[in-house]
Chain A
Amino acid sequence: MPSEPPAARHVLEFPGGYTRTTGPVIGRFLSELRARRIVGVRTAEGRVLVPPLEYDPGTGDPVTGEYVQVGPAGTVTTCAWVDEPLEGHPLDRPFAWALIALDGADTALLHAVDAGNPKAIATGTRVWPVWSERPTGNVTDLSHFVPEVTKIVAPVRAEYRLRAGGALGVFLAGVERGVLLGGRCQSCEKVYVPYRLSCPECGTAIGEPVELPGTGTVTTFAINNLPDPRAPQVPFVSAYILLDGADIPMIALVGDVPAHEVRHGMRVRAVWVPTEERTASMTNIRWFAPTGEPDVEL
């Protein structure tokens, strides 16, 4: 292997850049851009060239002196996506190059579109210009284009004050002292938890509450991937838990176990917060955790 030949850096640069005259046609276009307007020029055949050229590329005839305001919006006819912008590109984040048929133009303008991701732009996408803050009479006075507004974000929030009277008050009073209360129907004998005042099947009144243990069995569950203020983390598991001695499952979080290990028939126990932190609220139960007992056949 011969040794590497010596190497040196060489830069070709014209300090300050070349001064170039624009001529009247390109000069008009750039002056209009500086005033935040996009114009095309009409050809003798009536077509509108954007950006304007001195001669009709189809016929070679000089264009007319008629300038036509176009856009500012347009439709993407072709686009390509730059994942890693180069230093000289109009945007420093991933963007699209697009040929844009501006409204009223018969040719397409080539420019950058800040679309966020490549799926947000395709042939047919409507785009609008974003102007640079200090226009100077350069094609970059058009900073870039962005997709037309097609959606907005509408915040939703309302506050309520809830009072737990009746059966819920009884149930939460139990929860406050670390006990889950259910109720037995006097005609069908089903035990419902949380405690309630009537049987939804029979319509019969339910008598005094019965204490249920904090243990039960997972009958079904869901793995949730959207955050919820009541859950410790994402993903979290919400499950139907059939408490021992109850006939109707209650819904609760399952924790202390990886989401993918939760299964039907898993035995679980309520994890209560320390006594001094307890209130009359379901937040007393942090979640249900596996007991380690063998699974139950459902």
Chain B
Amino acid sequence: MREVAIVAFAQTRHTSHDTGLSEPELIRPVIEEVKERTGLSRFGFTCSGSCDYLAGAPFSFVSALDALGAWPPISESHVEMDGAWALYEAWVRLQHGDIDSALVYGFGKSSLGDLRTIATLQLDPYYLAPLGLDLLSLAALQAAAVGAERKELDDIVRRSRADGRANPYALDLPDPDPDSDPGGDHAVRPLLTTDVPPVTDGAAAVVLATGDLARRLCPNPAYVRGIAHRIEPHYPGMRDLAHSASAADAARAAGVGEGPVEVAELHAQFPHEEIILRRALDLREDTGVNPSGGPLAANPVMATGLIRIGEAARPILDGSARRTVGHAAGGPCLQHNLVTVLEA
């Protein structure tokens, strides 16, 4: 395998509402930031991740290219998935050996519509979509299958929000207060409204570079030591919702267990998903989980997973960690999982 490293990461200061910026206007500052940080103005390959349903405009990702400067023509691709999978495609492209840098970005404005029901459009049109199954209903089924103690879930929400308040890019969300409202305010039972990630607009960008170029661009590149993704059946009734076999398989393939993990950034949009993923990745108690606050503190859909990889790279780029894990998820009830192991 060719050695590939993350050499720069940037994200927007995410917002809980639509500021009125167009998608290219949202993306442009983070692209500028990673260009400036690496000194690169052209990349061997560019790949983005987004979802047209968020903006309700077919091929909306094409107009997002306006933020890049695509002339003379660039080599570009797009995944209708979280930007984490754009990073995977770029990593694969870099393995071809003929280029040595790639720009990856992901973006989403989930404030434009009702994310809860827009997510219904991602479901199979025969068995699930006709029932109007929404994002929260599916998550509630998985939460019921996990059956975690309320206190454990509340602790995850409280920790995530506190970490988010300390993260200038995440939202400022108050501590949930179960004492003032025992039993809580239900979204879809057993989910409480405080278990639901915030509506968030935002974008993120990552620059990947191979071997020598990585060392030239960055004093502490975050090397991708392992990266793998695995998927399970789409239909929830064909799966064991209390466990994530695909996250566990991806973690094994990426080599998570081959060394200590200082920080794990998990794409857990709900607290029960963190419990499932900790088990699937077999993380030890001393691994710091989502020190950024994670998706419960900022969830710019289609960038959230890429941000997990970026946040996992950050402590390596600044020299404060040696080995971290970034995780991204897609599909209903953690159907699809991508795991990246980063090392100094």
Interchain CA distance A186-B47 in the complex, whole Å? 109
Contact with B along A33-49 (1 / 0, CB 8 A): 00000000000000001
Q: Which residues of B contact A138 (CB under 8 A)?
A: 130
Check if A112 is an interface residue, CB within 8 A of chain B.
Answer: yes
Check if A51 is an interface residue, CB within 8 A of chain B.
Answer: yes
Q: Is the CB of B241 within 8 A of A80?
A: no
Interchain CA distance A10-B56 in the complex, whole Å? 8
Interchain CA distance A12-B118 in the complex, whole Å? 11
Interchain CA distance A12-B241 in the complex, whole Å? 32
Q: Is the CB of B141 within 8 A of A79?
A: yes
Chain B nearest CB from A119 CB (Å) reads 11
Q: Decide: A97 near B56, CB < 8 A? Known: A49-B238, A78-B241, A82-B188.
A: no
Interchain CA distance A81-B189 in the complex, whole Å? 5
Check if A30 is an interface residue, CB within 8 A of chain B.
Answer: yes
Contact with A along B147-179 (1 / 0, CB 8 A): 000000000000000000000000000000000
Q: Which residues of B contact A11 (CB under 8 A)?
A: 56
Which single member of A12, A107, A140 contacts B131 (CB below 8 Å)? A140
Q: Is the CB of B141 within 8 A of A12?
A: no
Q: Is the CB of B131 within 8 A of A80?
A: no
Q: Is the CB of A51 within 8 A of B235?
A: yes
Q: A residues 2-22 with Cβ under 8 Å of B?
A: 5, 10-12, 18, 20, 22
Interchain CA distance A138-B237 in the complex, whole Å? 18
Chain A nearest CB from B273 CB (Å) reads 15
Q: Is the CB of A86 within 8 A of B132?
A: yes
Chain B nearest CB from A267 CB (Å) reads 43
Q: Is the CB of A20 within 8 A of B127?
A: no
Residue from A22, A80, A107 with most neighbouring chain B CB atoms (10 Å) = A80
Of all chain A residues, the one with the shortest Cβ separation from B58 is A12
Q: Decide: A118 near B189, CB < 8 A? Known: A78-B144, A79-B141, A111-B131.
A: yes
Q: Decide: A108 near B237, CB < 8 A? Known: A83-B186, A86-B132, A139-B130.
A: yes
Q: Decide: A107 near B126, CB < 8 A? Known: A80-B137, A90-B131.
A: no
Contact with B along A47-70 (1 / 0, CB 8 A): 001110100010000000000000
Contact with A along B305-323 (1 / 0, CB 8 A): 0000000000000000000
Q: Decide: A78 near B131, CB < 8 A? Known: A26-B126, A83-B189, A110-B237.
A: no
Q: Is the CB of B137 within 8 A of A22?
A: no
Which single member of B56, B143, B233 contacts A57 (CB below 8 Å)? B233
Interchain CA distance A149-B252 in the complex, whole Å? 47
Q: Which residues of A contact B253 (CB under 8 A)?
A: none
Interchain CA distance A134-B145 in the complex, whole Å? 34
Check if A203 is an interface residue, CB within 8 A of chain B.
Answer: no
Contact with B along A109-127 (1 / 0, CB 8 A): 1111000001000000000
Q: Is the CB of A89 within 8 A of B131?
A: yes
Check if B331 is an interface residue, CB within 8 A of chain A.
Answer: no
Residue from B143, B186, B188, B237 with most neighbouring chain A CB atoms (10 Å) = B237
Interchain CA distance A203-B19 in the complex, whole Å? 94
Interchain CA distance A22-B19 in the complex, whole Å? 42
Q: Is the CB of B132 within 8 A of A90?
A: yes
Q: B residues 30-66 with Cβ under 8 Å of A?
A: 53, 56-57
Interchain CA distance A88-B135 in the complex, whole Å? 13
Of all chain B residues, the one with the shortest Cβ separation from A88 is B132
Q: Is the CB of B117 within 8 A of A80?
A: no
Q: Decide: A99 near B126, CB < 8 A? Known: A80-B143, A83-B186.
A: no
Q: Which residues of A contact B131 (CB under 8 A)?
A: 89-90, 110-112, 139-140
Q: Which residues of A contact B145 (CB under 8 A)?
A: 78, 99
Which single member of A80, A107, A110 contacts B190 (CB below 8 Å)? A80
Interface size on A, residues (CB 8 A): 38
Of all chain B residues, the one with the shortest Cβ separation from A4 is B20
Q: Is the CB of A88 within 8 A of B120?
A: yes
Chain A nearest CB from B4 CB (Å) reads 30
Interchain CA distance A76-B144 in the complex, whole Å? 12
Of all chain B residues, the one with the shortest Cβ separation from A118 is B189
Q: Is the CB of A53 within 8 A of B120?
A: no
Q: Is the CB of A88 within 8 A of B56?
A: no
Q: A residues 93-112 with Cβ under 8 Å of B?
A: 97, 99-100, 107-112
Q: Is the CB of B140 within 8 A of A80?
A: yes
Chain A nearest CB from B137 CB (Å) reads 5
Interchain CA distance A90-B256 in the complex, whole Å? 42
Interchain CA distance A18-B137 in the complex, whole Å? 24
Check if B128 is an interface residue, CB within 8 A of chain A.
Answer: yes
Q: Is the CB of A80 within 8 A of B126?
A: no
Q: Which residues of B contact A108 (CB under 8 A)?
A: 236-238
Known: A51-B127, A97-B188. 12 other contacts (CB 8 A): A50-B237, A57-B235, A78-B141, A80-B140, A80-B144, A80-B189, A80-B190, A80-B191, A88-B132, A89-B131, A110-B133, A110-B141
Q: Give the top 9 A-B pairs by smallest Cβ distance, nearest first.
A: A88-B132, A5-B20, A80-B140, A108-B237, A12-B56, A81-B189, A57-B233, A78-B145, A89-B132
Interface positions of B (Cβ within 8 A of A): 19-20, 53, 56-57, 112, 116-117, 120, 125-128, 130-134, 137, 140-141, 143-145, 186, 188-191, 232-233, 235-238, 241
Interface positions of A (Cβ within 8 A of B): 5, 10-12, 18, 20, 22, 26, 30, 49-51, 53, 57, 78-83, 86-90, 97, 99-100, 107-112, 118, 138-140
A and B contact pairs by CB, cutoff 8 A, 29 listed: A5-B19, A12-B53, A18-B125, A20-B125, A22-B126, A51-B126, A53-B238, A57-B232, A57-B238, A78-B141, A78-B144, A78-B145, A80-B191, A82-B188, A83-B186, A83-B188, A83-B189, A86-B132, A88-B132, A89-B134, A90-B131, A97-B133, A99-B236, A100-B237, A107-B237, A108-B236, A108-B237, A139-B127, A139-B130
